[in-house]
Amino acid sequence: MPKILKYILIGLITVFGLFMIGAIVLNIMIASAFGAFENNYSVSELKEEYKTNEKAIDDLILYFNKIKPKDKFVKIEFKDGKTIGRLLIQDKISNSVLFQHWDFSKNILITPDLKNKLGWDLEKVEILKEKLDKADCISIEDGEPIKIGFKRAGLGMYSFNIFQNKESDRTLYEDKCNFILVNRKLMLEYGGGAVGPQCFQNLK
């Protein structure tokens, strides 16, 4: 075989090999985004997780209600001990977004602007993270019911919604898709992402 044909063949095989590797990596990334490698919890598993961590979740809610500004809506998700996955601050009267950002250092929370909005210091942030860890959860969101983010599955999120008000209308949350009403206190939720499942996959 002439050398030039040999080199052309080697080049084609190399390009094809790289193309196949790229296709495999792309498929893995897409599967990951759809939650293929995440734990998809059943309703019974979520009930058991909540039962195991109920006291820690109640303690988390008490602390969050104590430190959050009364005139603002706050949603915070931790990515790890040093990184905030998402923070949303809204004015409760005007509903205007005062701050919204993803994936940033927790130290930003004590900059003058955010400290003025939240009134949190690093100690409060670290205690909040500790209480989330004890509850085996990753986020907390103001509202009625208050939403405790349990675990992500791809771009989706499993959450425990805890009713604080006895008079709240629970009938709004009985669709058996995104919401599973367990009792007067607890509602399970699965919120789908931009891609992947949009409802609970296992209702058992």
In whole numbers, what is the pLDDT of the chain averaged over residues?
85
Domain boundaries, the chain: 1-33, 39-191
Q: Is 185 a residue whose pLDDT tops 90? A: yes
The beta-carbon contacts of 115-118 under 8 Å, at least 24 apart in sequence, are: 117/69, 117/72, 117/89, 118/68, 118/69, 118/72, 118/74, 118/89
Higher pLDDT: 74 or 3? It is 74
Per-residue model confidence (pLDDT) at position 54: 97
Query: Span 164-188, mean pLDDT?
Result: 88
The residue written with tokens 């590797």 in the block is 21
Per-residue model confidence (pLDDT) at position 179: 92
Query: Span 133-146, mean pLDDT?
Result: 97
The residue written with tokens 């599973």 in the block is 180
Q: Which range among 29-33, 54-58, 74-78, 146-150 shows the weakest confidence by mean pLDDT? A: 29-33
pLDDT digits (tens, 9 = 90+) for 45-76: 999 999 999 999 999 999 999 999 999 999 99
pTM value > 0.85: no
